[in-house]
């Protein structure tokens, strides 16, 4: 309503100015008076026509150079504006409408120096382009979105504003052309430095390293995408007319479950993203080295990815970690109701960003013969005496804990080295 009143007031002003000029020419007479009237007449008529121009009939489309990217990368956006009638437009202002998910920038591992306060990484992303359209029917606008953060992002709409050269009047319209693209968490170089651990008396020790050390074949199984060619048992494959892979002794022993805390207890968004990048890097390393691994999220709606998913459908894991958002349920509650069979003698690697006394007690009641490793991601300023007492209590109960702060996250190489 205010917009309509504003237009009516402007139209009335232009009309009164036109009447005033005509009256001046009629009463004053002479060449100068009529020259002034006729020279201003097309300009005033043009200004009066702009509010009634059918800008909503324009066609605005958007194209992205890629829809699946890694954090920190960039995407080129091309906005095409088309119209049928070449009405003269002095200027055109194009403004993109961005979601909240893009008001955050990813600058690589250097961003983790702000782990305690991520305010320097927050930004109000706006793109505005001024174009002198004139009589052109089609125009393209190119721009680049850089330092993309993790997530599923949607460019919802474009706002187009046209106006006159004097700034007396303008006309705006929003064009909806939803475009989605995904930014996956980047995989960081990772090392696994955990020595052999005996699970229980009489059991074979479990060793997880960067390479498979055992050459003892304990059996065969069906081929899973990601298995090395050297593991294929060609003779058995020919007999059964299907691909068969050798199963090694170590492969049977090293059953690893990675559990990720997706609760909303993270101090800020950067800590939550750091835990996700740490997790995807660990999963990628274990998958690359052929370890038996599964992945479980701990939150309000726990999600389980089996060993088959990790090897055959790793893109699904990446897609989930790109779109996951903090959930309300504490991770220890998610552990109690998780849809996963916890096998005695396995290795359980927790990636969490919250620890307290209550969690210690419930975790120790849950733990029986499992080897539990905890990667605790938090700013160094949160490692206060109370938190360190919690960590020491876990270590006394033979639970390995690795504290990961901004000091470790800014390093070139990451390493899983929980200590007792």
- Range 190-196+215-416 classified under CATH 2.60.120: no
Give the residue range(s) of CATH 3.40.50 domains in the chain.
190-196+215-416
Q: Does the pLDDT at position 330 exceed 80?
A: no
- Range 55-184 classified under CATH 2.60.40.150: yes
Contacts of residue 272, defined as CB under 8 A and 6 or more positions apart, other chains included, come to 266, 326, 353
Whole-number pLDDT of residue 295: 92
Determine what percent of the chain is predicted with pLDDT higher than 90: 27
Contacts of residue 147, defined as CB under 8 A and 6 or more positions apart, other chains included, come to 72, 74, 105, 106, 107
Determine if residue 345 is left, alpha or beta; phi over 0 gives left, psi from -120 to 50 gives alpha, anything else beta.
Answer: left
Whole-number pLDDT of residue 139: 92
When pLDDT is averaged across residues 298-323 and rounded to a whole number, the result is: 88
User: Which residue, among 287, 290, 308, 282, has the nearest Cα to 248 in the 3D structure?
Assistant: 290
Give the residue range(s) of CATH 2.60.40.150 domains in the chain.
55-184
Each residue of 258-274: pLDDT tens digit? 999 998 888 889 999 99
Each residue of 194-216: pLDDT tens digit? 654 433 433 434 444 444 444 55
When pLDDT is averaged across residues 398-409 and rounded to a whole number, the result is: 90
Q: What is the pTM of this model?
A: 0.77
Q: Which long-range contacts (CB under 8 A, 24 or more apart) does 225-229 make?
A: 225/311, 225/312, 226/287, 226/290, 226/311, 226/312, 226/314, 227/290, 227/311, 228/290
Q: Does the pLDDT at position 3 exceed 70?
A: no
Spatial distance between the Cα atoms of 301 and 371, rounded to a whole number of angstroms: 25
Whole-number pLDDT of residue 210: 46
Each residue of 116-164: pLDDT tens digit? 888 888 877 778 888 888 888 999 999 999 999 999 999 888 999 988 7
Whole-number pLDDT of residue 299: 82
**C-alpha neighbours within 13 Å on the C-beta side of residue 147:** 14
Spatial distance between the Cα atoms of 187 and 112, rounded to a whole number of angstroms: 15
Spatial distance between the Cα atoms of 158 and 62, rounded to a whole number of angstroms: 9
Each residue of 20-66: pLDDT tens digit? 877 877 787 778 888 888 888 888 888 888 888 888 899 999 999 99
């Amino acid at each position: 309503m205010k917009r309509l009143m504003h237009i009516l007031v402007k139209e009335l002003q232009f009309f009164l100015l036109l009447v005033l000029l005509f009256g001046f020419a009629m009463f004053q007479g002479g060449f100068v008076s009529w020259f002034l009237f006729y020279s201003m007449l097309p300009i005033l008529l043009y200004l009066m026509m702009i509010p009634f121009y059918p800008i909503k009939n324009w066609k605005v489309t958007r194209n992205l150079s890629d829809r699946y990217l890694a954090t920190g990368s960039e995407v080129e956006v091309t906005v095409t504006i088309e119209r049928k009638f070449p009405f003269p437009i002095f200027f055109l202002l194009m403004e993109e409408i961005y979601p909240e998910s893009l008001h955050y920038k990813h600058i690589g591992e250097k961003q983790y120096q702000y782990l305690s306060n991520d305010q320097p990484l927050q930004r109000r992303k706006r793109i505005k382009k001024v174009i002198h359209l004139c009589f052109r029917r089609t125009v393209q606008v190119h721009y680049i979105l850089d330092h993309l953060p993790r997530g599923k992002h949607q460019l919802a709409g474009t706002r187009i504003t046209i106006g006159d050269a004097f700034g007396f009047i303008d006309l705006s319209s929003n064009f909806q052309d939803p475009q989605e693209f995904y930014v996956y968490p980047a995989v960081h170089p990772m090392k696994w430095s955990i020595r052999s651990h005996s699970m229980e008396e009489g059991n074979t020790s479990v060793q997880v390293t960067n390479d498979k050390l055992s050459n003892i074949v304990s059996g065969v199984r069906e081929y899973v995408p990601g298995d090395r060619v050297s593991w294929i048992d060609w003779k058995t494959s020919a007999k059964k007319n299907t691909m068969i892979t050798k199963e090694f002794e170590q492969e049977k022993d090293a059953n690893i479950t990675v559990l990720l805390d997706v609760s909303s207890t993270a101090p800020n968004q950067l800590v939550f993203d750091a835990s996700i990048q740490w997790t995807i890097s660990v999963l990628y390393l274990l998958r690359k080295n052929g370890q038996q691994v599964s992945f479980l999220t701990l939150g309000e709606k726990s999600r389980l990815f089996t060993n088959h998913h990790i090897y055959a459908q790793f893109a699904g894991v990446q897609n989930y970690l790109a779109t996951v958002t903090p959930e309300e349920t504490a991770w220890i509650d998610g552990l109690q109701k998780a849809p996963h069979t916890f096998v005695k003698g396995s290795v359980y690697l927790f990636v969490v960003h919250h620890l307290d006394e209550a969690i210690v007690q419930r975790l120790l009641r849950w733990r029986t013969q499992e080897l539990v490793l905890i990667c605790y991601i938090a700013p160094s300023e949160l490692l206060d005496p109370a938190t360190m007492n919690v960590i020491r209590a876990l270590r006394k109960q033979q639970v390995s804990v690795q504290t990961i702060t901004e000091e470790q996250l800014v390093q070139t190489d990451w390493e899983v080295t929980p200590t007792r």
